[in-house]
Every structure is written in C-alpha cells, then in structure tokens.
Amino acid sequence: MFTVDLHSHILPWMDDGADDLDVSLSLLHKEAADGVRQIVLSSHFHPLDENVAEFRIRRNSSFRQLKKAIENSDLAGKFDLRPAAEIRYNPSLLEIEDLGTLCIDGTKVLLIEFSTQHFPEFVQDVFYRLQTKGYIPVMAHVERFPWLRDNPEFLYNMVCGGAYAQVNADSIVKSKESLSFIRRMMDCGLIHCIGTDTHNMTKRPPHMKEAEKVLASNPGSDVVDYMDEIGRTLLAGRIPNAIIPSKPKKSFWDFFRK
C-alpha cells in the first residue's frame, strides 16, 4: 500500500494549490481514505522570484493554520505532515545559503522540478555539488518532461549520479503514454517514489489509491512496496537501498524520433 505522498500542494494560499483551508481538508480526507499517512507539503518555490526567508514566513503561517484546522477536525492525529518545497531548478540554487530550510522537514531531501520546455543546463554538476553538501536530490515527476522522455539515458545518468526519481500518481492513472514510459523506466530501476502532486479537488485531486491499483494489477509486481519503502526511508532521514539501475533500451518509437 502507498502510505507516503512525497509531493503535494495541500498547504493553503501558497501557490496554485489549495485556495483555502476547506480545500486542504478535503484533499486530506481523500488522502486518509486512500491510506496515506505521511505527506510532503511541497509548495512551489522559484529561486528567481522569491527569497527563501520570505517563502518560509509564508509557509510557516500557512502550516500553522492548517495544523490548527486539522486539530479541530476528524483528521486529528492521522498524518505526519512535512513542510517542504518543490524547488524550480536553477544553477543559482548553489548560491542560496539557507537552502537547507527548503529540504523536506526532518531530512536532507530537496525536491527539485525541471522546466517542461528546457533541458536543465549544468544539472549534473549542480546535483553533484548539492550532494557534496549533504543534500539528497529528488527529481519531481520525471515522466512529465518531453525532453526527458526523448532521452531516457539522461535519467539513467542522473540516477547513477545519486539522484532519486519521483513520479505522479495522476500520470499512472490518467495517461497510457505516461504509464508506459514509467513502466519502462521502472524496469530499469530508474523510478523510486511517488507523489500525488495534488492541487485541488476539481482538476487535480489526489489519486494515490487509484495509482496503487494500476501498479498492483501486474501479477507478482512488488513495485508498490518498493516505492513506498523508499518514500518512508527518505522521510526517516536515511539513504534508501535502491535497485542498481540499468541503461534504458531504445523503444520501437524512439527510432522514429529525431
């Protein structure tokens, strides 16, 4: 069972996620029904738009109010909630002195998202340097980038370099093309953990249980347990014992791509 949601926009008023506390609580009710118990609250942070101190002030206020609302509801005591950030990749991350405060609370994990349009310049060097400072980089929803899907060897190189890869539950549930890519990458040991990336109850509700059913439908597959174990290990502040990756083979369709 998936018990860890490594990526969500449940904190209210922070970004394009939950608009208010009612939405946050609705999202949490669905997470509880799905069996999720640990949730990373990864509001968007763009290093070129805001400084870390301002972000933290906004996040503390939002988290305080969410905790209070939970305590006054039937969700009290149900979750281990971890403030964090979904950090937009930029080489300038290396210059941020208080970058550590953007880690998933209680860990050294940085959840980092790339641009959908552009290849992340210098990323291997930047991730290497982050790791020399003790950070553990997790790449957010790796299945969502067209440039990455066209070049899965990039994912292989990043994972060999010590990064972890997160996928979205929605991509597993809603898109056959994404699911096919995710399965190919899973077979190569290039996918490690899952998040809902939930924003609201209308267009982007949490689909953890639905994703679990899709993945568990493969007879003999232990991928759900594997990914959940990695999520729990990361949140416990330890380095997960991941499968040794293998290089992805080109798919039939890759031969028709440029």
* Choice between 9 and 149, CB closer to Fe ion: 9
The secondary structure element, H or E, covering residue 186 is: helix 176-187
- C-beta of 92: minimal distance to Fe ion in Å? 20
- Please give the residue whose beta carbon sits closest to Fe ion in the complex: 197
Distances (CA, A) of 101 to 39, 56, 67, 191, 202: 17, 8, 19, 26, 31
- C-beta of 184: minimal distance to Fe ion in Å? 23
* Choice between 86 and 229, CB closer to Fe ion: 86
* Choice between 156 and 235, CB closer to Fe ion: 235
Give buried/exposed letters for 115-127 (b at 16+ CB in 10 A, else e).
eeeeebeebeebb
- C-beta of 46: minimal distance to Fe ion in Å? 12
Distances (CA, A) of 94 to 31, 131, 141: 34, 11, 22
Q: Which of 197, 212, 228, 229 binds Fe ion (CB under 5 A)?
A: 197
* Choice between 170 and 245, CB closer to Fe ion: 170
* Choice between 31 and 86, CB closer to Fe ion: 86
Read off the amino acid at residue 10. I
- C-beta of 8: minimal distance to Fe ion in Å? 8
Interface stretch with Fe ion, choices 61-69, 196-204, 221-229, 245-253 (CB under 5 A): 196-204
Q: Count of residues binding Fe ion (CB under 5 A)?
A: 2
Q: Are 30 and 209 in contact (CB under 8 A)?
A: no
How far apart (Å, rounded) are the C-alpha atoms in residues 54 and 85? 13
Beta strands 164-168; 38-45: pairing state: unpaired
143 is a site residue for Fe ion (CB under 5 A): no
Listed in sequence order, the residues at least 6 apart from 208 whose beta carbon sits closer than 8 Å to its beta carbon are: 2, 5, 31, 34, 35, 36, 169, 194, 196
- C-beta of 15: minimal distance to Fe ion in Å? 8
170 is a site residue for Fe ion (CB under 5 A): no
* Choice between 86 and 143, CB closer to Fe ion: 86
Bridge partners (DSSP) listed for residue 165: 139
x/- letters, 61..100, toward Fe ion (CB under 5 A): -------------------------x--------------
Beta strands in the chain (DSSP E): 4-5, 38-45, 80-88, 109-113, 136-139, 164-168, 193-195
* Choice between 11 and 227, CB closer to Fe ion: 11
Output the six-digit token pair for 108.
């050294």
- C-beta of 9: minimal distance to Fe ion in Å? 6
Restricting to residues 20-39, which ones interact with Fe ion according to CB under 5 A?
none
Summarize as ranges the residues that interact with Fe ion (CB under 5 A).
86, 197
